């Protein structure tokens, strides 16, 4: 079974030393959220994730959610854990105090999201969509809807879902067929079927609030004719108490490769009573309030699973002996120990952590994970500014950065999660392929993250065709400028200067890549489409490097306060700049080769 220790020290380092967004520090509502409070929350979060939730990961994989007699049952232990989870207020952590929440910023709640993802993604998904539904209703629901539904979602006694996908409608939501017919009392009756609905049905909460995309009979075709509706599993009376069962039923649940403890449902809506959320025919925009935040959270899922895979691979490499190392330092130590009879066998194998390729693999994981955590912390600050700052211009600028980085975080973190969990299995060797160790489960559980909430290919297309080619505000230009300023700040620091120059070199590559895309957008959109994934990876690696540069500046400045911790940061950053950042060359050179041998290829 895998083990896990929440990386509180690294999280607290970011919270205390990298709150470098002055506009975030201007937010009055978070003035009292200090380091002591943050540490207390993270320590309590570590206890519940390490002790209560982590054991559920293996249970949920071996005894998945089941569907019997029209009802979904969660794995053993989930009910008891969820009861403790909501009693301790974890669902309400980042919610508005007006509806019973604790009002904790995403600069802290994102760390908790990571811990939950590390301990058990299946368990996490039952509450995760509730927060997404909460955010959507908070921003687009009427006051009466908010007062009626949000307090119980915040408490965790009701949960939420989002229902988009249909059998003939995945990415292209313009094809959806679910109908919503208005009734004399202003409610709507919904009819249709939705598939792949995470936590669509279960036995953890007394009600489930579905957010459903559907069309009214007079709606225009395509995505312009989609509206959003709130459809409770059990109808809710005016006083907030539960009424009769609504016309929502579970048709089946999916048998999946991973996240088996999470119920992924096919839902039927047969004249189900619903309430319109937001303006008519503008439902997709309302739903994207939920989806965009959810995409960032999915990226953090990839980060969380990467962290636990890394921890277990590192621990195993310090215990497993195999082969003889070529490391001269290790050889000399071995000879010395033999002389004083600590090693009696002439053929004593070395720990695999002493082998250069194993060390490379583990440092690759570590440098990516810590860079991702720093980037997600930067993004959490931007998100809070985009939601709560009083200055509209500052708010918009932050929103633009969040929009730019959302597909990057979602895709890069989850793709890297596949690489890291695969490498962790490799370090375990044959044992990693067996179920006993739990490493192969991490690989399987993470495999959904590059797929759901919009596949990573869709994310890269969204980045290039919608976010990058934005002449109104030139978001990418402003982001590049902020990186250039950070490089300039470190140009006279003797230790950081070489790495800053390396980042500057690759930043110019990204600028050339951007110019290439803008040029080819006019002459060959196929070339651009085929380059989208590579561009996202390049921007992602630049973003991680930018984060590492910030970490380096702090590490050298604070060296005397915690020498071992900051030396570790500096060495890890050096590995990233020398071993990971150069991947940009391959992505760039591959992308600009064009599509002649792609689009002209004749498949038999």
The answer to whether residue 501 scores a pLDDT higher than 50 is yes
Q: Which residues contact 93 (CB under 8 A, 6 or more apart)?
A: 41, 101, 102, 104, 108, 109, 112
Rounded CA-CA distance 130/94 in Å is 12
| Token pair belonging to 532 | 């989208």
Q: Is 100 exposed, middle or buried (0-12, 13-18, 19+ CB in 10 A)?
A: middle
CA-nearest of 595, 552, 599 to 572 is 552
Tell me, what's the pLDDT at 471? 58
Residue 345 has pLDDT above 50, yes or no: no
Average pLDDT over residues 528-532: 97
Write the CB contacts of 109 (distance below 8 Å, at least 6 apart in sequence).
93, 94
Give, in degrees to the nearest 5, the angle at Cα 312 between 306 and 318.
Answer: 135
11: closest CA among 81, 94, 108?
Answer: 108
> How many beta carbons lie within 10 A of that of residue 534, not counting itself?
20
Cα separation, 335 vs 247, whole angstroms: 76
Query: Would you call 515 helix, strand, or coil by DSSP?
Result: helix
pLDDT in tens, 443-495: 999 999 999 999 999 999 999 999 887 656 789 999 999 999 999 999 999 99
pLDDT attached to residue 1: 83
Backbone angles phi, psi at 105, to 5 degrees: -70, 160
Cα separation of 304 and 125, whole Å?
13
Closest CA to 88 of 36, 115, 52, 59: 52
CB 412 within 8 A of CB 484: no
Long-range contacts of 416-420 (CB under 8 A, 24+ apart): 416/302, 416/306, 416/368, 416/372, 417/301, 417/302, 417/303, 417/305, 417/306, 417/446, 417/449, 417/450, 418/443, 418/446, 418/447, 418/450, 420/306, 420/309, 420/310, 420/364, 420/365, 420/368, 420/369
Q: Is the CB of residue 92 less than 8 Å from the CB of residue 101?
A: yes
**Residue with tokens 């854990």, as numbered in its chain:** 81
* Local confidence band at 121 (pLDDT 50, 70, 90 cut-offs): very high
pLDDT at 117: 98
Helices (H), 389-474: 392-428, 430-433, 439-446, 456-462
Which of 114, 453, 485, 486 is the catalytic position? 453
pLDDT value at residue 344: 46
Orientation angle between helical segments 392-428 and 283-317, nearest 10 degrees: 40
Collapsing DSSP states into helix, strand and coil, what is residue 85? Answer: helix
| Rounded Cα gap, residues 256 and 270, in angstroms | 26
The predicted-structure confidence for 70-101, as pLDDT tens digits, reads as follows: 999 999 999 999 999 999 999 999 999 999 99
pLDDT score for 539: 98
What SS3 string covers 265-309?
EEEEEEEEEEEEECCCCEHHHHHHHHHHHHHHHHHHHHHHHHHHH
Q: Quote the longest CA-to-CA distance of the chain.
A: 93
Place of tokens 């579905």: 210
Q: What is the reported pLDDT for 329? A: 60
112-136 mean pLDDT? 96
- The predicted pLDDT at position 469 comes to 77
Closest CA to 111 of 211, 33, 204: 33
The residue ranges of every structural domain in the chain are 455-604
Q: pLDDT tens across 265-315, in order? A: 999 999 999 999 999 999 988 887 778 889 999 999 999 999 999 999 999
Q: How confident is the model at residue 321, as a pLDDT?
A: 87
Cα–Cα nearest to 534, from 583, 603, 602, 479: 583
The span from the CA of 261 to the CA of 254, in Å, is 11
Tally Cβ neighbours within 10 Å of residue 68. 7
Beta strands, E only, 156-297? 158-163, 179-182, 188-198, 207-214, 227-232, 234-236, 242-245, 248-253, 264-277
pLDDT at 335 over 70: no
The confidence band for 604, taking pLDDT boundaries of 50, 70 and 90, is confident
Query: Is the pLDDT at 346 greater than 50, yes or no?
Result: no
Least confident of 108-117, 346-355, 478-487: 346-355
Q: How many Cβ atoms sit within 10 Å of the Cβ of residue 512?
A: 12
What residues contact residue 509 under an 8 Å CB cut-off, 6+ apart?
538, 584, 585, 588
Is 453 considered catalytic here?
A: yes
Mean pLDDT of the chain: 94
Question: Tell me: the pLDDT tens digits for 141-199?
Answer: 999 999 999 999 999 999 999 999 999 887 777 789 999 999 999 999 999 999 999 99
Q: Are 379 and 300 in contact (CB under 8 A)?
A: no
Residue 209 pLDDT class (50, 70, 90 cuts) = very high
- Per-residue confidence band for 332, with pLDDT thresholds at 50, 70 and 90: low
Question: In three state form, how does the secondary structure of 100-129 look?
Answer: CCCCCCHHHHHHHHHHHHHHCHHHHHHHHH
**Nearest CA to 224 among 179, 291, 173?**
173
Q: In this predicted structure, what is the pLDDT of residue 475? A: 94
Rounded distance, CA 581 to CA 303, Å? 18
Binning the chain into helix, strand and coil, the percentages to the nearest 5 are: 60, 10, 25
d(CA 150, CA 232): 12
Long-range residue pairs from 176-180, CB within 8 A, at least 24 positions apart, any chain: 176/213, 176/214, 176/215, 176/226, 177/215, 178/212, 178/213, 178/214, 178/215, 178/269, 179/214, 179/215, 179/216, 179/217, 180/214, 180/215, 180/216, 180/227, 180/229, 180/274, 180/276
CA distances from 146 to 94, 131, 274, 441 (A): 16, 14, 14, 39
pTM: 0.94
With 80 as the cut, is the pLDDT of residue 324 above it?
A: no
pLDDT of residue 293: 86
At residue 337, the pLDDT reads 47
């Amino acid at each position: 079974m895998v083990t896990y220790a929440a990386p509180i020290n690294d999280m607290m380092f970011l919270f205390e030393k990298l709150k470098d967004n002055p506009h975030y520090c201007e937010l009055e509502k978070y003035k009292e959220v200090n380091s002591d409070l943050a540490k207390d929350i993270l320590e309590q979060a570590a206890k519940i994730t390490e002790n209560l939730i982590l054991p559920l990961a293996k249970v949920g994989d071996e005894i998945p959610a089941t569907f019997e007699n029209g009802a979904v049952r969660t794995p053993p232990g989930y009910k008891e854990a969820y009861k403790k989870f909501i009693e301790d207020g974890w669902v309400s952590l980042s919610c508005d105090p007006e509806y019973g929440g604790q009002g904790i910023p995403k600069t802290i709640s994102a760390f908790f999201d990571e811990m939950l993802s590390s301990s058990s993604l299946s368990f996490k998904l039952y509450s995760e969509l509730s927060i997404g539904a909460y955010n959507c209703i908070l921003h687009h629901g009427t006051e009466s809807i908010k007062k009626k539904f949000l307090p119980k979602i915040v408490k965790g006694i009701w949960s939420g879902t989002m229902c988009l996908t249909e059998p003939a409608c995945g990415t292209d939501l313009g094809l959806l067929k679910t109908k919503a017919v208005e009734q004399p009392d202003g409610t709507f009756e919904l009819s249709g079927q939705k598939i792949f609905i995470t936590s669509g049905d279960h036995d953890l909460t007394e009600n489930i609030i579905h957010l459903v995309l559907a069309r009214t009979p007079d709606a225009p075709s395509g995505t312009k004719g989609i509206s959003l509706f709130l459809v409770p599993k059990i109808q809710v009376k005016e006083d907030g108490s539960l009424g009769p069962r609504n016309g929502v039923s579970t048709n089946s649940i999916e048998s999946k490769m991973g996240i088996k403890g999470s119920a992924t449902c096919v839902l039927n809506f047969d004249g189900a009573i619903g309430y319109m959320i937001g303006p008519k025919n503008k439902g997709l925009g309302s739903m994207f309030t939920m989806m965009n935040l959810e995409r960032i959270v999915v990226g953090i899922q990839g980060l969380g699973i990467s962290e636990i895979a890394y921890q277990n691979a590192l621990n195993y490499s310090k215990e497993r002996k195999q082969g003889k190392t070529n490391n001269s330092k290790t050889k000399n130590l071995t000879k010395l120990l033999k002389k004083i009879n600590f090693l009696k066998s002439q053929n004593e194998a070395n720990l695999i952590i002493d082998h250069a390729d194993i060390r490379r693999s583990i440092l690759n994981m570590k440098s990516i994970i810590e860079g991702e955590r720093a980037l997600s912390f930067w993004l959490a600050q931007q998100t809070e500014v985009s939601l709560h700052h009083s200055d509209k211009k500052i708010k918009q600028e932050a929103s633009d950065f969040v929009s730019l980085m959302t597909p990057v975080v979602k895709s890069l973190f989850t793709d890297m999660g596949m690489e890291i969990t695969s490498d962790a299995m490799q370090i375990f060797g044959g044992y990693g392929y067996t179920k006993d160790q739990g490493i192969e489960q991490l690989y399987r559980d993470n495999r959904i993250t590059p797929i759901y909430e919009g596949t990573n290919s869709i994310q890269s297309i969204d980045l290039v065709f919608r976010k990058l080619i934005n002449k109104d505000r030139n978001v990418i230009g402003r982001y590049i400028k902020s990186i250039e300023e950070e490089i300039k700040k470190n140009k006279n620091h003797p230790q950081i200067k070489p790495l800053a120059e390396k980042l500057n070199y690759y930043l110019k590559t990204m600028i050339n890549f951007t110019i290439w895309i803008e040029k080819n957008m006019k002459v060959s959109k196929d070339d651009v489409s085929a380059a989208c994934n590579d561009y996202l990876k390049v921007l992602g690696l630049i973003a991680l490097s930018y984060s590492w540069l910030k970490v380096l500046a702090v590490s050298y400045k604070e060296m005397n306060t915690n020498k071992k911790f900051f030396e570790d940061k500096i060495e890890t950053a050096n590995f990233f700049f020398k071993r990971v950042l150069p991947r940009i060359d391959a992505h760039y050179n591959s992308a600009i080769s064009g599509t002649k041998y792609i689009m002209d290829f004749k498949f038999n």
